[in-house]
A and B are shown apart, each in its own frame.
Chain A
């Protein structure tokens, strides 16, 4: 899990992602966050260090958002993440702090 830094704060656990969230590392990312879900009230995923993201990374993001709509927050989107979200027209979906009731579907 070389590219996931974990830091515990007062409100919960904070993950800082480094480098690529791609098909090669999405697996680590998923496992790290998944393991923390039962034990922490609030989770924050800081994406400022993400330099590269592909569909594999995006899928994990989407799933985390679906599973923990209220307790998990993505913060500090890096340009690489933003670009992917913009391409997939998912910026709005992720930037919306209140989860959409009907699920992960998103229109731009």
Chain B
């Protein structure tokens, strides 16, 4: 293992641990008695300290150590945890995060960092009742209440020191671990009283493999830490070493056992233990005598042996169980997860995109070749490609919960700053969405949450006056809805003030005073650039930048945002995003020579637009769909597509969209024969027939009038170039099996356009999606 890799892993894991720590801290703040959460905080600090020690990051160890000491007392209920202490630990977590960032950047801590670290350490030390704030490292340690087991039992050795026996496997150096680093780490929380370096196993000079480790160590160690702490020093070498730790005043028989277990000669070990000061000569004699006795005597029953050997040592057993559980959890998590470089995954997805296009081409050729076997093979291929696509896309899916949880901290800190009592409720945390989307949604969400905190939730007095609970609530919710993910940020605050927004909009000339606007339109005004109705500008929000950025960011993800607000009741911001950014199931339609793709999930149904209905609409572009009014757009007019010459079929066209027109081409002769029959004529020239594709987006329905329906099509979305950024109604393009380009329609934009068309015409103010 390369050291840089290991350090990188340390930093990644460190950050994860800090996140867990923060989560647990916020949990503890709500439920101070939550021992599991406290244990989780402790574990995080402890693990960071341990790993930092291995990398020789002494400043991290030193700082974390103090925090850990306080946490240990909290864990033992010697210190109660309250919101002040949580605040201190949140600062500790931030400081550690900063230290990690600096390590990641290859920087030493600067004076400012050290100063803030020192200030925090001092605050922490205040919790360690009256212990000297600085001094020898042992001083910072927690004085543990003396365990009963550690009271000198009769027949125990005299020494106050722990005895640690270490034998490393030859590979330990190659695994990137230096035994010396561990001994150095031990010295951070105790004093190495004696150490015997055993060189017996080192082979002759010529046989020596310099990369193998041959040395063994017998250490006599003076510390106030408990066995679990000492044990944890060896967390990283547990697989690479034989470790035995004997508490002070252990029974002689334990040393006997130790001697018996070690590979060196027994006599020699006895001497070593004596050399270490662990055993007195008399104790050694006793030990050796016992050993002989044990050799001839009948074996002790196991239980008796265990008790005799004082092996059942509650804190140790607990530590072992915790450890085991932790390892098990880690193992199972590790077993089911692999860290993959995001770039590799993107490349993979891109390749699958190419594969889909290639497979569409194959299908087309197979269809034309008219060989049943080939068609069958092509069909099987496209089915498999589709499955591969689906599974590849799920690889990118992550749960939104982690993003939501970050807001716990935002809400906590900001509500303290604003002196409001605000709670955050999270639901739908397990909703999955594309990783790219998750990364990009963070900023807009932060804006929305801050807005709700600052402007949405009223001060407590005002809330009580309105008959609402004094504490405000912000809800984050996520769910899937027809091919989109919906993320809601809602608050139970004052809601948007309709009049004030309208007044401001008129002031700014966004709206004319005589205009009649619906609630939705008024609410949407807050997305205009530079629009703010806040009476007070503070450092959190209200400066009028933000909401327009939010909308722009969300639109860049092909999403939309809508507002639902009831005055005095609260506001809900609803963000709607496509599930994935790369590949969709499309619905291919044709207008003239052009083809377009709609996201299949948004298509509700297809109906025929007969001449009667066109007539009935009287040029108003509304359709009576089973008694409901359905506004529609003619794509032909919208995109100004010229008619292909009629009735002759453009050969290029036929290549492109075989289905609809093949019939008309091959039955040309019959068509002339029965041209007099209007019904037959109509059927044979389906080009004349118009179809309405009914699409639904965010609760609105609209019809898109097209000429040909060509069915489902797997679509790899390619973004349009920068030049086309301003284009409305088009979200991207894709390549068809025959190499032609088809435009992907921005259904959200079109639906919106239809919904607001009439008013837009009347009002002269554009609410179209992208301005």
Whether the pair B180, A54 counts as a contact (CB closer than 8 A) is yes
Whether the pair B197, A90 counts as a contact (CB closer than 8 A) is yes
B195 — which chain A residues lie within 8 A by C-beta?
87-89, 108
Whether the pair B196, A54 counts as a contact (CB closer than 8 A) is no
Of B174, B179, B205, the contact of A64 (CB 8 Å cutoff) = B205
A90 — which chain B residues lie within 8 A by C-beta?
197
- B204 contacts the other chain (CB 8 A): yes
Report Cα–Cα, A107/B208, bound state, in Å.
23
Report Cα–Cα, A84/B692, bound state, in Å.
82
Known: A55-B173, A87-B183, A88-B195. Contact between A63 and B178, CB under 8 A?
no
- Chain B residue with minimal CB distance to A33? B205
A83 to chain B, nearest CB (A): 9
Whether the pair B199, A62 counts as a contact (CB closer than 8 A) is yes
Whether the pair B174, A34 counts as a contact (CB closer than 8 A) is no
Counting chain B CB atoms within 10 Å of each CB, the highest count among A26, A67, A105 belongs to: A105
- A27 contacts the other chain (CB 8 A): yes
Of B194, B199, B200, B205, the contact of A67 (CB 8 Å cutoff) = B205
Counting chain A CB atoms within 10 Å of each CB, the highest count among B192, B197, B206 belongs to: B197
Whether the pair A108, B194 counts as a contact (CB closer than 8 A) is yes
A65 to chain B, nearest CB (A): 9
- B651 contacts the other chain (CB 8 A): no
A59 — which chain B residues lie within 8 A by C-beta?
199, 202, 208, 210, 213-215
A66 — which chain B residues lie within 8 A by C-beta?
199, 202, 205
Report Cα–Cα, A54/B275, bound state, in Å.
24
A30 — which chain B residues lie within 8 A by C-beta?
205, 208, 210
- B184 contacts the other chain (CB 8 A): yes
Of A29, A56, A87, A88, the contact of B213 (CB 8 Å cutoff) = A56
A6 — which chain B residues lie within 8 A by C-beta?
none
Report Cα–Cα, A27/B206, bound state, in Å.
11
Report Cα–Cα, A30/B202, bound state, in Å.
14
Report Cα–Cα, A29/B211, bound state, in Å.
12
Whether the pair A62, B173 counts as a contact (CB closer than 8 A) is no
- Chain B residue with minimal CB distance to A24? B211
Whether the pair A26, B210 counts as a contact (CB closer than 8 A) is yes
> Which A52-87 residues have a C-beta within 8 angstroms of B?
54-56, 58-60, 62-64, 66-67, 84, 87
Of A29, A34, A87, A105, the contact of B180 (CB 8 Å cutoff) = A87
- A106 contacts the other chain (CB 8 A): yes
- A23 contacts the other chain (CB 8 A): yes
Contact residues on A (Cβ < 8 Å of other chain), bracket: 20 to 34
- A104 contacts the other chain (CB 8 A): yes
Whether the pair A84, B199 counts as a contact (CB closer than 8 A) is no
Known: A34-B206, A67-B205. Contact between A56 and B194, CB under 8 A?
no
B183 — which chain A residues lie within 8 A by C-beta?
87-88
Counting chain A CB atoms within 10 Å of each CB, the highest count among B183, B195, B210, B211 belongs to: B210
- Chain B residue with minimal CB distance to A104? B199
> Which B215-231 residues have a C-beta within 8 angstroms of A?
215, 217
Report Cα–Cα, A58/B214, bound state, in Å.
10
A6 to chain B, nearest CB (A): 18
Against B, the Cβ 8 Å flags (1 = close, 0 = not) of A9-30 are: 0000000000000010011011
Report Cα–Cα, A54/B213, bound state, in Å.
10
B545 to chain A, nearest CB (A): 52
> Which A27-42 residues have a C-beta within 8 angstroms of B?
27, 29-30, 34
Counting chain B CB atoms within 10 Å of each CB, the highest count among A59, A66, A67, A89 belongs to: A59
Whether the pair B184, A60 counts as a contact (CB closer than 8 A) is no
Counting chain B CB atoms within 10 Å of each CB, the highest count among A55, A67, A105 belongs to: A55
Whether the pair B215, A55 counts as a contact (CB closer than 8 A) is yes
Whether the pair A56, B199 counts as a contact (CB closer than 8 A) is no
Of B179, B184, B202, B206, the contact of A62 (CB 8 Å cutoff) = B202
- Chain A residue with minimal CB distance to B172? A55
Against B, the Cβ 8 Å flags (1 = close, 0 = not) of A87-99 are: 1111000000000
Whether the pair B180, A27 counts as a contact (CB closer than 8 A) is no
Whether the pair A84, B180 counts as a contact (CB closer than 8 A) is yes
Report Cα–Cα, A4/B220, bound state, in Å.
36
Known: A30-B210, A55-B179. Contact between A87 and B184, CB under 8 A?
yes
Report Cα–Cα, A29/B179, bound state, in Å.
20
Whether the pair B197, A106 counts as a contact (CB closer than 8 A) is yes
B215 to chain A, nearest CB (A): 6
Whether the pair A87, B215 counts as a contact (CB closer than 8 A) is no
A55 — which chain B residues lie within 8 A by C-beta?
173, 178-180, 213, 215
Known: A63-B205, A64-B205. Contact between A56 and B210, CB under 8 A?
yes
A55 to chain B, nearest CB (A): 5
B753 to chain A, nearest CB (A): 67
Report Cα–Cα, A54/B199, bound state, in Å.
15
Report Cα–Cα, A23/B214, bound state, in Å.
12
Report Cα–Cα, A23/B179, bound state, in Å.
12
B275 — which chain A residues lie within 8 A by C-beta?
107
B179 — which chain A residues lie within 8 A by C-beta?
55
Whether the pair A63, B204 counts as a contact (CB closer than 8 A) is yes
Whether the pair B202, A54 counts as a contact (CB closer than 8 A) is no
> Which B367-412 residues have a C-beta within 8 angstroms of A?
none
A88 — which chain B residues lie within 8 A by C-beta?
180, 183, 195, 197, 215, 217
Report Cα–Cα, A89/B191, bound state, in Å.
13
22 CB-based A-B contacts, threshold 8 Å:
A23-B173, A27-B210, A34-B205, A34-B206, A54-B180, A55-B180, A59-B214, A62-B199, A62-B215, A63-B202, A63-B208, A66-B199, A66-B205, A67-B204, A67-B205, A88-B195, A88-B197, A88-B217, A89-B197, A106-B196, A106-B197, A107-B194
Q: Can you list the 10 inter-chain pairs with the closest CB atoms, starting with the nearest? A: A26-B210, A88-B197, A27-B210, A104-B199, A107-B275, A23-B173, A63-B205, A54-B178, A89-B195, A67-B205
A-B contacts besides A23-B173, A55-B173, 10 pairs, CB < 8 Å = A26-B210, A55-B178, A59-B210, A63-B208, A64-B205, A66-B205, A87-B184, A88-B180, A105-B196, A108-B195
Q: Interface of B with A (CB < 8 Å)?
A: 173-174, 178-180, 183-184, 187, 192, 194-200, 202, 204-206, 208, 210-211, 213-215, 217, 275
